[in-house]
Amino acid sequence: MKIDIKFIDASDWQEQPWYSSGGTRAKKVLQKPDGTEYYFKCSEKKPAKEGKPAKEYKYEFWNEIIAYQLGKALGLNMLRYDIAVFGEEIGCLSPKMNITDDIQLIEVGRYMTALNENFIPENYASRKEYTFQLLEQTISHFKLSDYWEQLLQTILFDALIGNTDRHQENWAFFGTSTIMSKTYEDLKKEAETGKMSWLKRQFTRPIFDHKKKDLNIVGKHAQLMFTNVNSIAPIYDNGSSLARELTDERVELLLQNDLALEDYINKGFAELHWDKIKLNHFKLIENLVKTSYIETISKSAVFLSNWDESVVSMIFDDLDKDLPAKWNEYCIPVKRKMLIIKIISLRFKKLKDLLSDRI
C-alpha cells in the first residue's frame, strides 16, 4: 500500500482574513491561485495563566495527518490533511468543505442545542449536557437515523486514536436550506399562539422547532430556515489525540513502563458524556455495546477488520521524510513515533476485546 503524504508550501497563497471558523484553535483560510480554499492550522500554544506555565503542543499538527492516513487505510471517510508551511509557520492543511448558498455544513451541535436549552457550549458548566443520550434524542427527533452507522464509526475511531475533543462542532452534516424572512414581532406572535416552538433564550442563538426550523435573529428581523440533510461530512478535526500533550521526558517514561502506559491510556476521556458523566473511551464503548445499537455498532466496527500493523508502521516511516531541512526541528522524534504506534496498537486490542467476535 502506498502512503500518500504531501508537503505543501502555501506561502504564496492568499489569506482570507474575513473568514472565521469554530473549534478550539483558530484557523487561517488560505486561497490557492486557482481559487480553491483550504484551512491552515498550527499546533496549539497555551499562554501562561493563573500561575500555570505556558504550553506548546509542538507536534500536534502531525496528528491530523496521522489520523487522516490511518482512517483512510482503514476505509473511513476522512477529510484530507497534509503538512504545509505558510511563511514562517508550519502546520496542517485541509480542503475547505464545499459550502455554498445551497449546501451548508451543519454541525451536530446545532441540532443538540436546539433540542436541549440547557446545553450552552460556551458555558463550561453545561458541558455535562453533551451526552450520548442527547445525541440519541437529537437523531431521533430530526429523523437522522440513517446516519447512525457513520456517527458510531466516528466514536469508535476516536477511541482508537484517543481523541478527547469530539465536541459539538467537530462532526457535521451537509444540508440544503430554504430561507424565509420574518419580523421579530411576527415570530413572537406565532410562538405565543402555539404555532411555533420557542426553544431558545431571547433569540440569541440559532434554533430549531419540531419541524426542523432554524431561527436566526438579526436585530428585529429573522430568517426561518428549513433544513434538509443530504449527507454526513467526513471525519475531521482529530488533533487532540495521539499523545499530543506529552513531553519528551514523559514519552521516555511511558515507553519503559507498561503499567504507566496502561494507566495513561485509561485516563483518556471521551468528550461525549454518558448520562452526564464523562467516561474514558473504552467505558463509553462498553456501555454502547450493551444497548439496542449493538447491531449498528457491529456494522460500524467493520473498518477495524482492515487493521494492519505494517501499514501503521509505514505511515510513520513516510510521515516526515520529505520535510525540508529548514523545518527539521518539527520532525517527530523516533521515540515519540514508537510510543504513538504502541498506543494505537494497544487501543486497537482493547477495542477488539470489547467488540468480541464482531470484527
Reference 264, options 248, 280, 286; nearest CA is 280
Question: Phi and psi dihedrals of 142, rounded to 5?
Answer: -95, 15
Cell, residue 247: 513531553
Is 70 exceeded by the pLDDT of residue 239?
Answer: yes
pLDDT of 281 reads 98
Mean pLDDT of 81-107: 90
pLDDT of 359 reads 67
How far is residue 164 from each of residues 68, 237, 270, 331, measured CA to CA in Å?
16, 11, 5, 24
pLDDT of 223 reads 46
Contact 222, 165 (CB under 8 A): no
pLDDT of 106 reads 87
Provide the pLDDT confidence category of residue 225 given band limits of 50, 70 and 90.
low
Of 306 and 228, the structure prediction assigns the larger pLDDT to 306
Share above pLDDT 70 across residues of the chain, in percent, rounded to a whole number: 82
What are 287-297's pLDDT values in tens digits? Answer: 999 999 999 99
pLDDT of 226 reads 53
Q: Cβ–Cβ contacts within 10 Å for residue 269, how many?
A: 15
Phi-psi region of 184 (alpha: psi -120 to 50; beta: other; left: phi over 0): alpha
User: What is the pTM for the complete model shown?
Assistant: 0.87
Compute the mean pLDDT over every residue in the chain, rounded to the nearest whole number.
Answer: 86
Provide the pLDDT confidence category of residue 47 given band limits of 50, 70 and 90.
confident
Nearest-angstrom CA–CA distance, 336 and 349: 20
Is 90 exceeded by the pLDDT of residue 154?
Answer: yes
Provide the pLDDT confidence category of residue 163 given band limits of 50, 70 and 90.
very high
Is 90 exceeded by the pLDDT of residue 205?
Answer: no
Any bridge partners for residue 15, and if so which? Answer: 30
Mean pLDDT of 5-24: 80
pLDDT of 168 reads 96
Least confident of 46-50, 58-62, 263-267: 46-50
Provide the pLDDT confidence category of residue 220 given band limits of 50, 70 and 90.
very low
Share above pLDDT 90 across residues of the chain, in percent, rounded to a whole number: 69
Q: What is the distance, to the nearest Å, from the Cα of residue 79 to the centroid of all Cα atoms in its chain? A: 10
Apex CA 209: angle with CA 205 and CA 213, to 5°?
80
Reference 302, options 357, 350, 225; nearest CA is 357
Is 50 exceeded by the pLDDT of residue 306?
Answer: yes
Is 60 exceeded by the pLDDT of residue 262?
Answer: yes
- Burial readout 276-292 (b: 16 or more C-beta within 10 A, e: otherwise): eebbbbbbbbbebeeee
pLDDT of 119 reads 93
Contact 206, 249 (CB under 8 A): no
